[in-house]
Amino acid sequence: MPFYTIINTILLKKILPATFIFFIPFLSSAVTFAQSPTFLIPPTEFKAFDTPNDAGETISLTWSASPNDSPDAFYVIYIDKDKNGAFEKEAIRTKSNTSYRTSAPEIYGYKKKNSDYHYVQIFPKKIFNGEKIDKKQLYYFKLAMMAGDSKIVLDTIASASAHGNWLHTKKINNFVIMIIISTIILYFIVHARRNPDMFLRKIGGLDAVDEALGRATEMGKPVLFVHGLTGMGSISTIAATSILSRIARKIADYDANLKVVNNDPIVMSVSQEVVKESYLEAGRPDAYNPDNVFLVASEQFPYVAAVGGIMTREKPAANFFIGYFYAEALILAETGATTGAIQIAGTDAYTQLPFFITTCDYTLIGEELYAASAYLSREPMLMGTLRAQDVGKGILIIILILGTVLASFGLTFITHLFEAF
């Protein structure tokens, strides 16, 4: 074997592995030193205070960030009920690159320097669970910074006691908004009482109610009112019975024939009472026929089949589909369209709106269903509330546009006015 081959074999198999094993501890120490500095620069401005706007359960602590903040360094806060105590209870431990003031805008706002300070909340009662604590107990805190085997404890001792607050100052904006909206509503209610003909924005479907009822009266054909499939616990069904009351009152005045179909016994009973009361208000209780408000079927598609049969046989001059509908919406509306009736639908089921819009003459979309009773009754309370809602929507649209424009130029203060902490 050549001499240089023998030398290479000795170097590769004997000397180099031994040298590598010898230097491993030194390499490990170098890595540890790089990740965990021996000299920690302690944070400053360590303070404790009662957390504002709470029920008196927490204490807030804050301190400045250290140049040694990193994922491998930790802050540890110790708590004691005695200033000269041992501070053995650990209140909280957090990574030094987390928990900044930016997480508490309700206290510190949105200042840029918030990212230079740490912030945490302590629940003293949970830490001293089971121990008897006075309500006015003053708690003391010490802050330590740890990184690897290095640890430094600040000499500063922060103290604070927790107490509840009667007023949540950060919710004053909600209170002010509520006062403004309430004032607008009251103003328009009073205005509606003084001016019964107060202007309300036009809704085509409601303006066509008189036309549909008049057409049915002239043709001598009935008016068919179809309830949705939900019970009296549904808001849309409650709105539907309110609309039914106004329609029944006009039917009584016109001396026309009204038929109301139901799929729920409770809705049927309520509808009977509503129609009966409307006839009484019109001064024609003798014209009320309880048999015209009846239960058809309690299941979905048997209900649809029965109502479709009524439409085909009696060919009503006007059909009202009011309430919450499901897959039966298109079947009912398409059947009614084939009879040549004027059809007015109203629902808050957004999945069925396309079918009603394409097959009915008029459709009340979403909240228009809830507003219908105010339009038809012209009661000052309802009219004033509805008008105030429209004004509120207008104000909201203006604020949204203004906020968008200001945010485009970096001015976001208007968005903070409506935050609910």
pLDDT of residue 359: 94
**pLDDT for 139 beyond 60:** yes
Over residues 102-118, mean pLDDT: 89
Of 5-14, 242-251, 299-308, 321-330, minimum mean pLDDT range: 5-14
Local confidence band at 217 (pLDDT 50, 70, 90 cut-offs): very high
For residues 360, 365, 367, 369, the Cα torsion angle rounded to the nearest 10 degrees is 0
> What is the pairing mode between strands 318-322 and 223-227?
parallel
Please state the domain extents for the chain: 47-160, 197-377
Q: What gap in Å lies between CA 56 and CA 59, rounded to an integer?
A: 8
Question: Integer distance in angstroms from the first to the last C-alpha of the chain?
Answer: 84
pLDDT of residue 16: 46
Over residues 227-253, mean pLDDT: 92
What is the three-state SS of 187-239? HHHHHHHHCCCCCCCCCHHHHCHHHHHHHHHHHCCCEEEEECCCCCCCHHHHH
**More confident position, 40 or 120:** 120
pLDDT of residue 61: 96
For 47-89, how does the pLDDT look when each residue is reduced to its tens digit (9 = 90+)? 999 999 888 889 999 999 999 999 999 999 999 999 999 898 9
Of 37-41, 48-52, 309-313, 370-374, minimum mean pLDDT range: 37-41
Residue with the two structure tokens 């592995």: 17
pLDDT of residue 373: 78
pLDDT of residue 207: 83
Over residues 273-283, mean pLDDT: 94
Over residues 28-49, mean pLDDT: 66
**pLDDT for 44 beyond 60:** yes
**pLDDT for 140 beyond 70:** yes
**pLDDT for 417 beyond 80:** no
Query: What's the chain's average pLDDT?
Result: 86
**pLDDT for 11 beyond 70:** no
For the CA atoms of the chain, what is the radius of gyration?
37
**More confident position, 355 or 413:** 355
For 313-365, how does the pLDDT look when each residue is reduced to its tens digit (9 = 90+)? 999 999 999 999 999 999 999 999 999 999 999 999 999 999 999 999 999 99
Q: What gap in Å lies between CA 141 and CA 126, rounded to an integer?
A: 15
Over residues 16-25, mean pLDDT: 47
- pTM exceeding the 0.75 threshold for the entire prediction: no
**How far lies 337's CA from each of 78, 209, 242, 320, 333, in Å?**
77, 17, 25, 12, 6
Q: What is the DSSP letter of 65?
A: P
**pLDDT for 304 beyond 70:** yes
pLDDT of residue 30: 38
**374 membership: H or E segment, kind and range:** helix 367-377
Quick count: other Cβ atoms within 10 Å of Cβ 334?
15
Q: For residue 362, what are the contacts with CB-CB under 8 A and spacing of at least 6?
A: 204, 205, 208, 343, 344, 345
Q: For residue 49, what are the contacts with CB-CB under 8 A and spacing of at least 6?
A: 59, 60, 160
pLDDT of residue 34: 37
The pLDDT > 70 percentage for the chain reads 90
Q: What gap in Å lies between CA 287 and CA 252, rounded to an integer?
A: 7
The reply to whether 197-377 shares the fold of 47-160 is no
CATH of span 47-160: 2.60.40.10
pLDDT of residue 28: 42
pLDDT of residue 371: 84
Local confidence band at 22 (pLDDT 50, 70, 90 cut-offs): very low
CATH architecture, range 197-377: 3-Layer(aba) Sandwich (3.40)
Local confidence band at 421 (pLDDT 50, 70, 90 cut-offs): low
**pLDDT for 103 beyond 80:** yes
List, as one string, the DSSP characters of 321-347. Answer: EES---THHHHHHHHHHHTT-EEEEEE
For 389-407, how does the pLDDT look when each residue is reduced to its tens digit (9 = 90+)? 889 899 989 988 998 898 8
List, as one string, the DSSP characters of 251-312. Answer: HHHHT--EEEEESSHHHHHHHHHHHHHHHHHTT-GGG--GGGEEE--SSHHHHHHHHHHHHH
pLDDT of residue 12: 47
Over residues 235-250, mean pLDDT: 92
Over residues 212-232, mean pLDDT: 94
**4 membership: H or E segment, kind and range:** helix 3-10
pLDDT of residue 202: 81
Over residues 20-42, mean pLDDT: 50
**How far lies 180's CA from each of 147, 183, 401, 421, in Å?**
54, 5, 20, 20
| Cβ–Cβ < 8 Å for 59, 68 | no
Over residues 12-39, mean pLDDT: 46
Q: What gap in Å lies between CA 379 and CA 384, rounded to an integer?
A: 8
> What is the pairing mode between strands 150-153 and 139-147?
antiparallel
**pLDDT for 213 beyond 70:** yes
pLDDT of residue 177: 87
Local confidence band at 14 (pLDDT 50, 70, 90 cut-offs): low
